[in-house]
Chains A and B, each alone.
Chain A
Amino acid sequence: MGLSEQIAQFIITGLSIGAIYAIVAMGFNIIHNATGVVNFVQCEFISLGGMFMYTLVVLLRVPMFISFFMSMAAVALIGALIERGPIRYARSKEIIILIFLTIGLSGTLRGTAQQIWGTDNVGVPAFSGENPIHLPVGATLLPQHIWVFGVTVLVMLALRHFFKNTMSGKAMRATAVNRKAAALVGVSVDRMVMLSFALSGALGAVAGMIIAPISTTSYDTGIMLGLKGFAAAILGGYGSFSGAIIGGIMLGVLESLGAGLISSQYKDVIAFLVLLLVLFLRPTGIMGHGESERV
């Protein structure tokens, strides 16, 4: 196997992992834009998506297609409930308090998930078979990787359509730009914030579900993916949609190339060092704009 084939493999791998990071980063961004908060429950959205999928497909034998949307709806509902309950009733609206509130909520959810599903990792069947596909460049990938790319692109297009062309989407963007002004022109800010939690819940679930057949899933798979997704969002520019895609893919490819070409021991060190360097050179991430702080 020559070097060019190896590099092709590294890039394919990096792209598929990067696509997952991008979706997770998108989830972080949506809530950030609506509230300014880093929502660490995003990690739990990923785990829950995977575990719901497992419960429906493997334990209850519900068809894959239906399970996918059921899990997505379930996690979206959990997201909405989190906003409707604890976040809304929090007596302080200070960003840092809310951030740590999401950490507390995330712990509660994770503990509950551990009690429900136990601690073991479980597999979920691939969406369409497991026969490797050989690309002409010398790399191989699984049908599931195609699903990952396909779903990611679909999700991005759907989000773009939602924010550009629908009333709710426009209202959400208005809320992100200026809450007071949005409220003045008749946007129900509360509803938009709740919608953003539901939406990022759905996104987290999608990420958890499309990766589950590749990486298996458990009550705590979301922690590492969530953390990397957050890193990707920051790398791309927090709150920026194109930034989430660029950040996610960059981080994924960086990890994979780092592991493949430099050192697999230090691959995370390499990825985070690059992240720090980018931040020091461009303090608002690759696609970020000047105003980065809503605190």
Chain B
Amino acid sequence: MKGKSLVMAVICVAVCFMMGSPLCFGAEPIKIGGIFALTGRAAHIGTSQRDAVLIAIDEVNDKGGINGRKLEMVMEDTESNPTKAVMALKKILEAEDVVAIIGPTLTGTAMAMRGFIEKEKIPAFMHSGGDVILKAPLKKDDPTSLPKWTFKSPYKAADAMGKICQYMNKHDIKKIGFLYSNEGFGKDGLRNVKVQAPKYGVEVVAQEAFAPKDVDMTAQLTRINAKGVDGVIAWTVGPAMGIIAKNVKQLGIKAPLFECHGAGDPVFWKVAGESGEGVMMPSTKIVVADQLPDSDVQKKKIQAYVKAYRKKFEHEPGTMVAYGADAAFIVVDAIKSVGPDRAKIRDAIENTKGYVGMSGIYNISPDDHNGLSMKDIVMIKATKGGWKLLD
């Protein structure tokens, strides 16, 4: 008797728990999928993007969620591997009723997932830097077959490069050397600099590559320096950002060093140390929020977000945090306005106009699935462990 009643009690509690949970916490949560490189070679980028998205989701939920329903992110790890990324995508789509995807981190994984995203018809806001995910047609022989369901939140690498070249033009830098990491991101930069530099009267007189995990780039820099350049651009994210800054100081290269739009991150100071002083780079406004003029429409929003970020993670946000946050907020806004329906969300994202985000003002259109422009990018200079906004 005793045993039976105990079993009954347990069953009752279990049933109550299962049925009760949606009642206690409001309606069933709305789910989005988050696919990031949490391990493997891009883990350092993927984990910070994940944090950025988590903050945004917390913010939405603290304000009561979406029409009374909580927002929940189902997370998967790509292990920085294209095959695993596709598997992660299918896993999320099967296991959960997700309405949109945020991520992945690497351009290679994004390219692998793209075809399946179009097939499954689910909107995906990607974080990868390479423009190729939007520009490359899905079918090789049909240049109009551009992705419909794929968006990307980081501004176009071409614009970031343009910003640097514009700055060089203004400050009379004419001959430059280009140093890039020999993988997707660096190669993308190489293509961009060849297009952007001539536009601003800048000539690329030397181009050198290095492997992302190399520990020394003095050989490449020596070669660049021998060409008598008056500016150096280094296009890489990760430890090489710091090693290059150190090598430039070591070799006594006088030409100013510019780095890519991913360098404006606390990690930069960790890897570069004192040698980081004076390095310039394009960035989102998130790292220089307090220096923005009060007239800047993004200022208040960015400051509030930075405050929340500092509170949760106890360190300063980097430039890439902005991309993660924007992707999350735009998707959330879309869900708010049209409800949890994949096709409607896609249309809503595509119609995002004048959205004031962390990275800039998004004007997304069928022709432009990114929506940022060069105006949203600022040039910053690494000074005393922080960042200084350049005009």
Direct contact of A and B (CB under 8 A): yes
**Which chain A residues have a beta carbon within 8 Å of chain B's beta carbons?**
1, 6, 9-10, 13-14, 16-17, 20, 111, 114, 118-123, 125, 130, 132, 134, 140-142, 211, 214-216, 218, 220-221, 223-225, 256-257, 259-260, 264-265, 267-268
Residue numbers in B under 8 Å from A20 (CB-CB): 215
Q: Is the CB of B223 within 8 A of A13?
A: no
Name which residue of chain B comes closest to A219, CB basis.
Answer: B43
Q: Is the CB of B250 within 8 A of A132?
A: yes
**23 sample A-B contacts, Cβ–Cβ < 8 Å, listed by A number:** A6-B223, A6-B226, A9-B219, A9-B222, A10-B222, A13-B216, A13-B218, A119-B47, A121-B267, A122-B271, A123-B271, A123-B272, A123-B273, A130-B246, A130-B274, A134-B252, A140-B250, A211-B215, A214-B216, A256-B216, A259-B219, A260-B219, A264-B223
Name which residue of chain A comes closest to B46, CB basis.
Answer: A119
Residue numbers in B under 8 Å from A125 (CB-CB): 273
B210 at interface, CB cutoff 8 A: yes
A120 with B44: in contact, given A130-B274, A224-B213 (CB under 8 Å)?
A: yes
Provide the B236-248 mask, 1 if CB < 8 A to any CB of A, else 0. Answer: 0011001100100
Task: From B182, B208, B215, B225, name the one whose CB has the most chain A CB atoms within 10 angstroms.
Answer: B215
| In the bound complex, CA of A267 to CA of B182 (Å) | 11
Q: Is the CB of B44 within 8 A of A264?
A: no
Within 8 A of A (CB), among B182-211: 182, 208-211
Residue numbers in B under 8 Å from A134 (CB-CB): 252
Provide the B296-335 mask, 1 if CB < 8 A to any CB of A, else 0. Answer: 0000000000000000000000000000000000000000
A114 with B271: in contact, given A16-B216, A215-B239, A264-B220 (CB under 8 Å)?
A: no
Query: Which 4 A/B pairs are nearest by Cβ-Cβ distance?
Result: A215-B215, A121-B239, A119-B43, A260-B219
Name which residue of chain A comes closest to B238, CB basis.
Answer: A121
A216 with B271: in contact, given A114-B43, A123-B242 (CB under 8 Å)?
A: yes
Task: From B41, B214, B250, B271, name the one whose CB has the most chain A CB atoms within 10 angstroms.
Answer: B250
Residue numbers in B under 8 Å from A6 (CB-CB): 222-223, 226
Residue numbers in B under 8 Å from A118 (CB-CB): 47
* Additional A-B contacts beyond A111-B39, A264-B223 (12; CB < 8 A): A1-B225, A9-B219, A120-B267, A140-B251, A216-B270, A220-B41, A224-B215, A225-B215, A259-B208, A259-B220, A264-B209, A264-B210
| In the bound complex, CA of A141 to CA of B272 (Å) | 17
Residue numbers in A under 8 Å from B215 (CB-CB): 17, 20, 211, 214-215, 221, 224-225
Q: Is the CB of A140 within 8 A of B219?
A: no
Residue numbers in A under 8 Å from B211 (CB-CB): 224, 267-268
B169 at interface, CB cutoff 8 A: no
Q: Is the CB of A10 within 8 A of B219?
A: yes
Q: Is the CB of B223 within 8 A of A123?
A: no
Within 8 A of A (CB), among B60-74: none
| In the bound complex, CA of A10 to CA of B209 (Å) | 15
B275 at interface, CB cutoff 8 A: yes
B31 at interface, CB cutoff 8 A: no
Name which residue of chain A comes closest to B187, CB basis.
Answer: A265
How close is B205's CB to chain A, nearest CB, in angstroms?
14
How close is B263's CB to chain A, nearest CB, in angstroms?
13
